[in-house]
Structure 1
Amino acid sequence: MKTTMHQTGSGTKDASKVFRKLRTCSRTFFHILNNEFGHSKELEERAADSLAGGILQEGHQCGMLWGASLAVGAEAYRKCKDPNEAIAVAMKATQYIMSSFMKNEHTINCRDITHCDFSSKLSFAKYMLSGRFLYCFKMADRWAPEAVEAAIDGLSYNEIDEYPVSISCATEVAKKMGASAEEMIMVAGFAGGLGLSGAACGALSAAIWMKSLSWCREESKKSSLKNPGAKRTLETFYKATGSKIRCDDITGLNFNTIDEHTDFIINGGCDSLLKVLAKS
């Protein structure tokens, strides 16, 4: 499977302008990468608003990463005929993107970057008045070209035959929620806490995005960031996990390979949690 190299477009040169227009980091990078791959997905991109600020503004993995992962998932679906290959490619490409991001920011977490607790009005006021919010715009401009390059490199990974069976927890929960074949692959890279990183649960983010996608189909042009269904999903998740959110805390495992994660899911790992999320 080969991905055609695209010349870096205007979206990467003016990422901060796109960011100001679209208003959330997650939607911005989903949009930028979609445009680089020659496809537009307004509805799906708007649904990604709910992953901004580190998943409903909870401060976990930066929304830029969630949005970029959705975009490479969509491209993997278009490029791969076999679903197992598409899942593996989406997961690998997400890992490439995260590696690029870590190289620049030395963290993947929103709160470490923004120094803001978005649930606190005082913290948010400090974030705005101090001008710290401008850092995110500058970061978007700086990282966008590298994000595209990392995405293309990851999508061109040519050793996917190593993974004849590939399963993503995020894909599984999306499937239980009635996702299309494309939507299931779009979230595949969320697996194991996003790119198998062990951070905040990828299945949770997949469920939130699916809830937001459904909401966006009914609420034309509105942002999904304040989508009440997504909020309920998060509350249900916390009750089921005893307020844990990190994949490595919930599973007690670190997934070093796609095979390890696949075997975990095949053997019933997180099955009850996936069912709770699907019904939330």
Structure 2
Amino acid sequence: MGKAGSGLSSLRTVGTFAKRGTCSETSLCVLNRAFGDPLSDEERAAAIFAGGIMQHGYQCGLIWGAALAAGAQMYRRLGAGPKAEAGAILKARRLVASFRTLNRDNINCLEIIELDKSATSLQMIKFFILKGGVIGCFRRAAKFAKAAHGEISDNVSHNEIKANSAPVSCSALVAKRMGASEKQVTMAAGLAGGIGLSGGACGALGAALWIDGISRIKIPGGKINFNDPGATGIIERFLKAADYEFECAKIVGRSFENVDEHAGYLKSGGCSNIIDALVSGSS
């Protein structure tokens, strides 16, 4: 692999952002291309993470997109299976840490831009146009893309990746049960535990929305729409099963220290009701 930031100029990232329109799709798109593996449908579907999951204000879409790109790279290196999924989780955890460093310890969209889906059109215009919020998002994307490329490029040692038996990742499990390909399952793996076990908005929910989005895109004329009944239905089922909590740490009552702990939780039936609810509407 090339050194950090190879093939990732700030101009290219900003240009992609201006064309694609969302931070999450941009993040996955530029990183995929930096590794020579463009994935059109997967990239378009990543738009669902913009604004911290459909503008709910949780983890910045740049993180979600980068975590998916890290999973794709682990699949290219290790193929499918628990080892690649564990590697994707470790990479995602590092990506979250890197994003925190670049953004004053903040990872949530609401913390960074102080807007979510409750914002009025006037508030959106004031922030993005009058206050130059668009420029801030462009700069953030350009800086993080280079940092993310470096994190994904660095090898994870074999000592760090243990050969756990499946399931390793809640998000990978959801993707698999929804009929995703082996590559898509591995891409989704790092979303586990609120992205890399960081305790934020549920990674299993993110995986369900993303895989559902890929399916919708494949339909002629299909596109990502935050008001799509399928996507909103997934969130409604999730919230009911999760006692109306969005974040992994609040749902589970703790944060996971490592992959083994998360895998053990899944094997003991942890979050099975949430996983069942998320996949119940998939074909």
* 1:10–1:258 Cα change, 3 Å: closer
- 8 Å Cα contact 2:175-2:211 kept in structure 1: yes
Question: Mind listing any 5+ residue stretches in structure 2 that lack a counterpart?
Answer: none
Which AA in structure 2 matches 1:41?
A: L
* 8 Å CA contact 1:11, 1:18 repeated in 2: no
Paired with 1:20 and 1:221, the residues of 2 have a C-alpha distance of 21
Q: Deviations over 1:143-190 (max 9, x none)?
A: 22111111112x534324534336100011111111111111110000
The match for 1:103 is: 101
Give the C-alpha shift of residue 223 in structure 1.
Answer: 3.6
Distance 1:161 1:67 in 2: 22
CA contact (8 A) 2:216 2:222 kept: no
Count of equivalent residues: 276
Write the distance in 2 (CA, Å) between the matches of 1:262 and 1:82.
Answer: 17
Using the TM superposition, give the Cα deviation of residue 224 of structure 1 relative to its aligned residue in structure 2, in angstroms.
4.4
Q: Is the 8 A contact 1:90 1:188 kept in 2?
A: yes
Aligned twin of 2:199:
198
CA pair 73-161 structure 1, distance change in 2 beyond 3 A: closer
Greater shift in the superposed pair: 123-132 or 52-61: 123-132
Alignment root-mean-square deviation, CA:
1.8
1:61 equivalenced with 2:68 (yes/no):
no
Distance 2:10 2:85 in 1: 26
What SS does the aligned partner of 1:162 have? coil
Distance 1:221 1:277 in 2: 21
Q: For the structure 1 residues 145 and 259, does the alpha-carbon distance in structure 2 shift closer, same or farther, using more than 3 Å as the test?
A: same
Going from structure 1 to structure 2, the CA distance change for 1:237 and 1:221 (only over 3 Å counts) comes to: closer
Question: Quick one: which amino acid aligns to residue 123 of structure 1?
Answer: Q
Higher deviation after alignment, 243-252 or 118-127 = 118-127
Question: 1:78–1:226: structure 2 CA closer, same or farther, 3 Å change rule?
Answer: farther
User: Which residue in 2 is equivalent to 1:170?
Assistant: 171
Name the aligned partner's letter for residue 209 of structure 1: W
Unaligned runs of 5+ in 1: none
1:174-193 pair list within 5 angstroms? 174-193=175-194
Confirm or deny that 1:222 pairs with 2:223: yes
Instruction: Give CA deviations for 1:198-224 in whole Å, capped at 9, x if unaligned.
Output: 111000000000111110111447344
| 2:24 aligned partner | 26
- CA change 1:161–1:200 in 2 (3 A) is closer
Question: Is 2:120 aligned against 1:123?
Answer: no
Distance in structure 1 (CA, Å) of the matches to 2:180 and 2:263: 20
Q: Structure 1 residues 158, 112: closer, same or farther in 2, change over 3 A?
A: same
Alignment partner for residue 5 of structure 1, among 2, 6, 9? 2
Structure with greater helix percent: 1
Pair 238,77 (structure 1): closer, same or farther in 2 beyond 3 Å: same
What is the aligned partner in structure 1 of residue 158 from structure 2? 158
Asked whether the 8 Å contact 1:198–1:254 carries over to 2, the reply is yes
- Given the two structures, how large is their TM-score scaled by the length of structure 1? 0.92
In the other structure, the counterpart of 1:210 is 211
Range 105-114 or range 73-82, more displaced: 73-82
